[in-house]
């Protein structure tokens, strides 16, 4: 601005009259300084300004949307205690400004932190995590508490929440309530509600405040209906930038996914009542790079039949163009999903309409049931008690609306309450060395009958199943991006690898084996490559049978061990095959420095396989159970025992 002003003066001599200058040099200096401060305030400080005047700031580290949902609930709770609360994404804030929080009376920072994968931070809290590790901020006087979200079936249970809790204390912050531990393997919702019920009384006692008696079911957004908006200004499913699907620009990430054409979609299993599929996404020209072991994130679309039925039940025109605008003008989150949009677009692309609604959603919707019995049913469903949950079938929002005829909430409030439809992650089933322009997915189509007799279909897998390549010039596309993983082949190709992956857990190992084959073709020395795979029946669901047998025939796979669990009277699983070849396994691990990889079900398979390794270490290594556990844990620390598991 200062430079522009000087140029203007040079072109306008009357402003710079030597006898009686219009501006003095001091004026120019002051003007430049003020202009610079104004630019800094407008451009660089908005992320910090929105915290001003808030007692309670709830930061969330969220990968699937649950931590963000809990964060919103806690920020709304604050109003019941005469405080001002806001939910905040740490990615959008300069977290060093947290040290200024004590300037606000009765201030408190709450952190709802989810752990992703093997103890990793979520995408949106990665920078915050890095800063905490490297930084040496002084948080003296900052009061905080942490609720962590994790899953006990994973080795690094709630690692992110535990780290944030510990690190903030090290930096001088004062913990005013105990770390909350949410377990998604049990009942995450119940864990959160239980912690929250104890947390707020502790806050009241600490700050000497009392509940105002106001309910926390306060509207966060107000509805604006657009009647004459230009269609080019309306979101039609884009995650970030308007029209980003029409005008694709790299780099591609979670806020700017690439529309990848589907080049292959084939059924993998030969028989049986399930549908296992192999898809190939074309990434030619996208500049997307991936490595074996990475994940591909896919943004799904809800079934139009369910969307239309919701509109029908609620009696609304789904093509009405609307915006839901945040009533808190200082919040960075202006809308719950991209706006302006139509109800149809919101229910199709942005909102999760197939998972059973959480208790807070049911509680807030209950007020709209005009029949007392139905309202009571809603309150029961909103109870987090396991007895109630086990006696009442879990239903999605459409099933609830159909079963309770007097429940007819305003559709805009429903759209405000429903959580965002999240990307789904799949282990990439290909190697970029062999397939630089395509990404392969291996998945099972989810479909099952509920207690109410309805058929529930997995949103993403059923949507992907319908994505068939076409030759008429209109290729089916999938919005996707890459999420980097720590699940990596050894740096030295001479290191042996032991891969254990039953069912669709074979996915990343297809990439690993392809890569080891490619390395051999390049003339590199490659260590032993051993696979333990499992399926139900050899003649039904032996996935990639021809490819795997060819890899074994050419020597790329040193050993292909397959467990067919239901081809004989007694069940045989991958852990049984591991123990059967225990001498070879122990030699590879203990003597030859092998790397172990597990992929698939976390709840049962991963645990059973880990126990098999304990038993092998005990028997052939002469170790006690405690020593065997420690032995495997050391392999994990060294990066020689890696897991890519889900539950």
pLDDT tens by residue, 547-604: 999 999 999 999 999 999 999 999 999 999 999 999 999 999 999 999 999 999 988 9
Cα three-residue angle 552-556-561, rounded to 5 degrees: 40
Question: What CA dihedral angle connects 628, 634, 636 and 641, to 10 degrees?
Answer: -60
pLDDT at residue 52 in the model? 46
Active site residues: 427, 599, 644, 646
Q: Are 429 and 280 in contact (CB under 8 A)?
A: no
Cα–Cα nearest to 544, from 432, 442, 427: 442
Structurally, how many domains does the chain consist of?
Answer: 4
Is the pLDDT confidence value at 22 over 80?
no
- Rounded to a whole number of angstroms, the distance between the first and last alpha carbons of the chain is 56
Full residue range of the structural domain in which residue 457 is found = 248-299+423-485
Angle at 130 between CA 172 and CA 244, to 5 degrees: 130
Q: Is 504 annotated as a binding residue?
A: yes
Co-location of 283 and 305 in the same domain:
no
Q: Is 608 annotated in some ligand binding site? A: yes
The pLDDT, as a whole number, for residue 216 is 52
In this structure, the answer to whether residues 358 and 375 fall within a common structural domain is: yes
Which helix (H) or strand (E) is 261 found in, with range? strand 258-267
Residues 6+ away with beta carbon under 8 Å from 218: 76, 79
Token pair of 537 as six digits = 């029946």
The helix (H) or strand (E) run that includes residue 614 is helix 607-621
CA distances from residue 256 to 248, 274, 297, 406, 432 in whole angstroms, order as listed: 8, 33, 12, 41, 21
| Residue count of the chain | 647
The CATH number given to whatever domain includes residue 628 is 3.40.50.80
The CATH number linked to 457 is: 2.40.30.10
Phi-psi region of 53 (alpha: psi -120 to 50; beta: other; left: phi over 0): left
Are residue 502 and residue 474 in the same domain, yes or no?
no
pLDDT tens track for 166-184: 999 999 999 999 999 999 9
Q: What is the pLDDT of residues 89-117, one digit of tens each?
A: 999 889 989 999 999 999 999 999 999 88
Reported as half-sphere exposure (CB side, CA atoms, 13 A), residue 249 has a value of: 6
Same domain as 501, residue 633: yes
Is the pLDDT at 26 greater than 70? The verdict is no
The answer to whether residues 265 and 346 belong to one domain is: no
Do 369 and 285 lie in a common domain? no
Cis peptide before 340 (omega within 30 of 0): yes
Q: Is residue 537 part of a domain?
A: yes
Cβ atoms < 10 Å from Cβ of 148 = 27
Give Cβ neighbours of residue 546 (< 8 Å, ≥ 6 apart): none
Orientation of helix 625-637 relative to helix 607-621, angle to 10°: 120
DSSP code, position 147:
E
Longest dimension (CA), the chain: 107
pLDDT, tens only, 198-252: 999 999 999 998 887 666 557 899 999 999 899 999 999 999 999 999 999 999 9
Pick from 441, 457, 485: which residue ends a domain? Answer: 485
Residue 216 lies in a domain: no
Whether residue 128 lies inside any domain: the answer is yes
62 is in an annotated binding site: yes
Same domain, 565 and 434: no
pLDDT of residue 382: 82
- Give the residue from 450, 418, 412, 454 showing the smallest Cα distance to 305: 454
| Residue 2 domain flag | no
Position 186 in a domain: yes
Mark whether 307 and 373 lie in a shared domain. yes
- 25 contact partners, CB below 8 Å, separation of at least 6: none
Is 275 inside any structural domain?
yes
Check whether 67 is labelled as a binding-site residue. Answer: yes
Rounded Cα distance, 306 and 361, in Å: 19
335-365 residue pLDDT tens: 999 999 999 999 999 999 999 999 889 989 9
- Which residue, 564, 447, 549, is CA-closest to 502? 564
Whether residue 381 is found in the same domain as residue 291? no
Known binder of ligand: residue 27? no
Boundary of a domain, candidates 435, 464, 485: 485
DSSP string, 345-381: HIIIIIB--SSPPPHHHHHHHGGGB-SHHHHHHHHHH
The reply to whether 528 and 623 lie within a common domain is: yes
pLDDT tens, residue by residue, 269-296: 999 999 999 999 999 999 999 999 999 9
Same domain? 555 vs 638: yes
Q: Judge whether 21 lies within some domain.
A: no
Tell me whether residue 350 is annotated as binding.
no
608 and 517 both lie in a single domain: yes
* Listed residues 422, 441, 471: the one ending a domain: 422
Query: Is 431 assigned to a binding site?
Result: no
pLDDT band at 186; cut points 50, 70, 90: confident
pLDDT band at residue 545 under the 50/70/90 scheme:
very high
Q: For the chain, what percent of residues have pLDDT higher than 70?
A: 89
Of 460, 280, 425, 448, nearest to 352 by C-alpha is: 460
265 is in an annotated binding site: no
Residue-level pLDDT at 53: 57
**461 labelled binding-site residue:** yes
Q: Is the pLDDT of residue 620 over 90?
A: yes
The answer to the question of residue 227 being in a domain is no
**Distance of alpha carbon 423 from alpha carbon 363, whole angstroms:** 26
- CATH number of the domain enclosing 399: 1.20.990.10
Judge whether 496 and 528 are in contact, CB under 8 Å. yes
Which CATH number belongs to the domain containing residue 135 in this structure? 3.40.50.360
């Amino acid at each position: 601005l200062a430079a522009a002003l000087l140029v203007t003066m040079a072109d306008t001599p009357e402003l710079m009259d030597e006898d009686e200058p219009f501006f003095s040099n001091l004026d120019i200096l002051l003007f430049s300084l003020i202009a610079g401060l104004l630019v800094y305030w407008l451009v660089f400080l908005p992320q910090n300004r929105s915290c001003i005047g808030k007692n309670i700031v709830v930061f969330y580290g969220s990968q699937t949307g649950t931590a963000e949902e809990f964060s919103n609930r806690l920020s709304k709770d604050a109003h019941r205690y005469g405080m001002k609360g806001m939910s905040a994404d740490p990615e959008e804030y300069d977290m060093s400004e947290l040290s200024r929080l004590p300037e606000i009376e009765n201030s408190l920072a709450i952190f709802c932190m989810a752990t992703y994968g093997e103890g990793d931070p979520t995408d949106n809290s990665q920078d915050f995590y890095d800063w905490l590790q490297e930084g040496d901020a002084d948080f003296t006087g900052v009061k905080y508490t942490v609720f962590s979200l994790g899953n006990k079936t994973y080795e690094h249970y709630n690692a992110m929440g535990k780290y944030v809790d510990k690190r903030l204390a090290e930096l001088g912050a004062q913990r005013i309530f105990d770390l909350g531990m949410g377990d998604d393997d049990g009942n995450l919702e119940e864990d959160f509600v239980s912690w929250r019920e104890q947390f707020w009384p502790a806050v009241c006692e600490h700050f000497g405040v009392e509940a105002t008696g106001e309910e926390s079911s306060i509207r966060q957004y107000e509805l604006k209906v657009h009647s004459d908006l230009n269609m080019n200004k309306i979101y039609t499913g884009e995650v970030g930038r308007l029209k980003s699907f029409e005008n694709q620009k790299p780099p591609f990430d979670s806020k700017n996914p690439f529309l990848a054409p589907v080049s292959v979609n084939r059924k993998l299993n030969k028989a049986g009542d399930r549908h296992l599929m192999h898809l190939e996404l074309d990434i030619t020209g996208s500049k997307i790079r991936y490595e074996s072991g990475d994940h591909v994130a896919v943004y799904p679309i809800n079934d139009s039949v369910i969307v239309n039925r919701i509109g029908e039940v609620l009696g609304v025109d789904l093509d009405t163009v609307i915006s839901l605008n945040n009533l808190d003008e200082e919040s960075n989150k202006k809308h719950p999903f991209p706006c302006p949009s139509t109800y149809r677009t919101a229910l199709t692309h942005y909102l999760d309409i197939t998972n059973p609604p959480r208790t807070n959603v049911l509680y807030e919707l209950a007020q709209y049931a005009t029949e007392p019995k139905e309202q009571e049913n809603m309150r029961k469903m909103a109870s987090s008690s396991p007895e109630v949950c086990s006696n009442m079938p879990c239903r999605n929002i459409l099933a609830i609306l159909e079963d309770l005829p007097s429940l007819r909430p305003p559709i805009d409030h429903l759209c405000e309450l429903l959580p965002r439809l999240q990307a789904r992650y799949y282990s990439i089933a290909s190697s970029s060395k062999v397939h630089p322009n395509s990404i392969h997915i291996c998945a099972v189509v989810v479909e099952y009958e509920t207690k109410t007799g309805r058929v529930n279909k997995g949103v993403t897998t059923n949507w992907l199943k319908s994505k068939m390549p076409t030759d008429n010039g209109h290729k089916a596309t999938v919005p996707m991006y890459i999420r980097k993983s720590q699940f990596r082949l050894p740096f030295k190709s001479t290191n042996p690898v032991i891969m254990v992956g039953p069912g669709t857990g074979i996915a990343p190992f297809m990439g690993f084996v392809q890569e080891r084959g490619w390395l051999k073709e390049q003339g590199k020395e490659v260590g032993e490559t051993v696979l333990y795979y499992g399926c139900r029946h050899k003649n039904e669901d032996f996935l990639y049978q021809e490819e795997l047998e060819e890899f074994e025939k050419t020597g790329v796979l040193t050993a292909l061990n397959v467990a067919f669990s239901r081809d004989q009277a007694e069940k045989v699983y991958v852990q049984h095959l591991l123990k059967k070849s225990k001498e070879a396994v122990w030699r590879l691990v203990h003597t030859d420095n092998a790397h172990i990889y597990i992929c698939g079900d976390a709840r049962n398979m991963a645990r059973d396989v880990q126990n098999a390794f304990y038993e092998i270490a005990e028997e052939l290594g002469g170790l006690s159970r405690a020593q065997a556990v420690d032995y495997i844990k050391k392999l994990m620390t060294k990066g020689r025992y890696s897991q890519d598991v889900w539950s």
